[in-house]
Structure 1
C-alpha cells in the first residue's frame, strides 16, 4: 500500500522506528524510501537524541529530564542554543493538546492524539507539522508532513520529544 501524496503546501516524510533501545528513527522519502535524516536516540534517565542530516551533520539535539521535577524536554540547535521546550505543566495524558514554547517566547500548539501519533503542530493559527499513522499499518512508522518554509529537522526533533514524553508519562 503506497502512502498518499502530501497535502498542498507540505512535504511528506516517512518516519520509521529502527529496532534498538534508544528509539532511533530513519526519516525517509516516501517515494523512494531513501534515508534523508536520522534521529539517533539514547536511553537513560535523561533521554536524548540528535537529529542528523543525510551526511551525519547534527542539526538539532533533544535532551529530557523526565524523572525529575519539573519534567522537561529541551530542543537545541547545532550551536547549542535552546530553540524550544516542553514542560510538565504543559502536558497531561488526559488532554488532547499541549503547548511547546519556542525560545522567542512564541507558543506552538500541539493538538490531537499523542499516543496514536495523530496530531498537529500549529504556530500563529497555521499548521506547521502534521503527524499521522492513519495511512500506515505498522506501529512506529508514520507520516510527517512539514509545511513549506518550516524546518524539517526541527519537526523531527519535536516528534521524537513528544514520542519519548508520551512513552515515559
Structure 2
C-alpha cells in the first residue's frame, strides 16, 4: 500500500494528512507545539490516536520513542513500541536503528533528507520512502511493501527518522 505525504506543512505544531493510494485521508500527523520535547501524534481518519511519538529526554544521542496510547495485547498502555536513534555515520547515507519492544531491530538507511530511503528487517525491505514517484513539490511516498507490516508503525518510523535527520542538520 502506498501513502502520500505532503511535507511542506511538516513542522512541530502543525498538522498534515497522509493519504492512501485512492486519495482518502488515512492518517493525520498532529504536531504538538509548546512542549519541552518534540511530540507528534499519529491519528486515524476518525481522530483516534494510534501512535504517540516523542523525543526521549536525557539520552546521550537523539532518540525518538514510539508508543501506543492504548493496549490491545494485554501490555500496559503507553508502553514503548520502538526506540529510534542514529546507527552510524556515513558520508552518503544515513543509518538509523529501530529497536522494537520485542527485541526485533529494523534498519533505516538511505538519503533521509532527500526522502529516498528504505526500512528493512533482516535484509528484507518492509517499506520504501521516495519522492521520485510523485510530481507534486514537497511530497513523498511511503510504499509499505510487506502486507503484514503495520502501516501506522512504518509511517511513524519515517516521521521519526526525518525529524531526527532534520534536527541533526540544524545543529551542524
Runs of 4+ in 1 over 6 A off after TM superposition: none
Q: 2:96, 2:161 within 8 Å by CA — same for their partners in 1?
A: no
Over 3 Å counting, the alpha-carbon distance change for 1:72 and 1:20 in structure 2 is closer
Per the TM alignment, residue 37 of structure 1 is displaced from its structure 2 partner at its CA by 0.9
d(CA) in 2 for partners of 1:51 and 1:73?
14
Query: Mind listing any 5+ residue stretches in structure 1 that lack a counterpart?
Result: 1-10
Q: Which has the higher contact order (CA 8 A, sep 6+)?
A: 1
**Normalising to structure 2: TM-score of the pair?**
0.80
- 1:106-117 to 2 correspondences below 5 Å: 106-117=104-115
Q: 1:101, 1:107 within 8 Å by CA — same for their partners in 2?
A: yes
Q: Which residue of structure 2 lines up, in the alignment, with residue 15 of structure 1?
A: 5
Instruction: Give the SS at the match of 2:166.
Output: helix
d(CA) in 2 for partners of 1:119 and 1:85?
18
Per the TM alignment, residue 19 of structure 1 is displaced from its structure 2 partner at its CA by 2.9
Residues 79-88 or 17-26, more deviating: 17-26
Over 3 Å counting, the alpha-carbon distance change for 1:66 and 1:142 in structure 2 is farther
CA RMSD after TM alignment: 2.3
Per the TM alignment, residue 164 of structure 1 is displaced from its structure 2 partner at its CA by 0.9
Q: 1:17, 1:140 within 8 Å by CA — same for their partners in 2?
A: yes
Does residue 62 in structure 1 map to residue 61 in structure 2? no
Over 3 Å counting, the alpha-carbon distance change for 1:58 and 1:70 in structure 2 is same
**Normalising to structure 1: TM-score of the pair?**
0.81
d(CA) in 2 for partners of 1:77 and 1:27?
19
Over 3 Å counting, the alpha-carbon distance change for 1:26 and 1:67 in structure 2 is farther
Does residue 96 in structure 1 map to residue 82 in structure 2? no
Over 3 Å counting, the alpha-carbon distance change for 1:17 and 1:69 in structure 2 is same
Paired positions, count? 157
Query: Mind listing any 5+ residue stretches in structure 2 that lack a counterpart?
Result: 70-76
